[in-house]
Amino acid sequence: MTETTSVGFIGLGLMGGPMAANVARAGFPLTVWNRTPAKCEPVRELGARVATTAAEAAAASDVLVTMVSDDAALEDLLFGSAGVADALPSGAVVIDMSTTSPACMESVATRLAERDVRFVDSPVFGSTEPATTGDLWAIVGADADDLARVRPVLDAMCGTVFHMGPVGAGSLMKVCGNLIVTGMIALLGESLTLGTDGGLDPAAMLDVLDAIDFTSPLWKGKGSLVVEGDYAPRFPLRHALKDVRLARSVAASRGLDLRVVAGAEQQYAAAAEAGHQDDDVIAVVHAVRPTAS
């Protein structure tokens, strides 16, 4: 698979837009489609063809990348009235880079295989900044041969590729990572609110968090946004709420109870209910003081 491989890209949201731009910049012939057409304009300017239907983008693809919201959006896109799965050429490969459930990944792979289409499960870690610079971390579940086929396309968007196992393993690792990240961000919101309520300077708090052995780039990365009052979405809070619910339901299907994440879910749900669903995930801080919004 080379730069002459035709790539389709569906789902040009906050993440998919810059990711598709990097595929175009890498020189792949690219056809894109997005439900809200205006989001296709920046990649059109980079030379991508904008399809008028999702099926048209699929029909033009050796490799089709999907980057949509969740299981329901992916299943609707592939197997609903848009007709994407039926439009894909025999022998094509679909890479789903959305955050979806392992069960959805396995079922999509089976249904695509019936149409002689291969499937690579590849959610990503990293938000809009590494999406823009092409430095995302791809977490792949796929046959090794399928991964090798699509690797040049992944490399156009990602700085690192981890191969976790067969289809579903990428999604499971993403769920496991996300429950830590979303839990950390919810805890950061609680910690900053408690500290500042007691008179601490939040910037000084972040210096401490950055120096002790629980160091993570998340503390300053997200904490400084609270200090600056900047809640513009890099990773929208509604996706964090989806992720904690996904982690709990995947765990529940195995008879496991993620009680710490259940607490984080309550905070994200309260922040979303207060109107912060489209703000950055760190807007969870607003939920700690129940009367605030």
Q: Residue 118: which of 101, 139, 100, 142 has the closest Cα?
A: 142
- Only one of the segments 12-20, 162-170, 207-215, 222-230 lies at the binding site for ligand NA7 (rule: CB under 6 A); that segment is 12-20
Compute the distance between CA of residue 242 and CA of residue 256 in angstroms, rounded to an integer: 18
Q: How far is the CB of 177 from ligand NA7 (least distance, A)?
A: 12
Taking CB atoms, the residue at the shortest distance from ligand NA7 is: 13
What distance in Å separates the CA atoms of residue 64 and residue 53, rounded to the nearest whole number? 14
**Does 174 participate in catalysis according to the annotation?**
yes
Instruction: Name which of 73 and 270 has its Cβ closer to ligand NA7.
Output: 73
Q: Which is nearer to ligand NA7, 76 or 190 (CB)?
A: 76
**Catalytic option among 174, 220, 222, 242:** 174
- Give the C-alpha separation, 138 to 97, whole Å: 8
Provide CB contacts within 8 A for 93, sequence distance 6+: 62, 63, 64, 117, 118, 119, 120, 146, 149, 150
Using the minimum distance from each CB to ligand NA7, give the nearer residue, 16 or 183: 16
Q: Which of 149, 239, 276, 286 binds ligand NA7 (CB under 6 A)?
A: 239
Which residues face 140 on adjacent strands? 163
In this complex, which beta carbon is closest to ligand NA7, that of residue 64 or of residue 288? 64
Angle at 11 between CA 36 and CA 6, to 5 degrees: 120
User: d(Cα 267, Cα 212) in Å, to the nearest integer?
Assistant: 26
Contact at 8 Å (CB) between 113 and 88? no
- According to the binding rule CB under 6 A, does residue 12 interact with ligand NA7? yes
- DSSP annotation of 215: -
**Could you say which of 8, 16, 29, 152 contacts ligand NA7 (CB under 6 A)?**
16
Site for ligand NA7 in 22-61 (CB under 6 A): 34-36, 39
Residues pairing with 50 in the sheet: 32
The interface mask with ligand NA7, positions 93-122, x = CB under 6 A, is -----xx-----------------------
What whole-number distance in Å separates Cα of residue 234 and Cα of residue 292? 22
Q: How many residues does this entry show for the chain?
A: 293
Using the Cα atoms of residue 81, residue 157, residue 16 and residue 140 in order, give the sign of their dihedral: positive
**Smallest gap, in angstroms, from Cβ of residue 157 to ligand NA7?**
12
Nearest residue (CB) to ligand NA7, 211 versus 232: 232
Number of residues that bind ligand NA7 (CB under 6 A): 21
Give me the residues that bind ligand NA7 (CB under 6 A), please.
11-16, 34-36, 39, 67-70, 73, 76-77, 98-99, 236, 239
| Catalytic residue ranges | 174
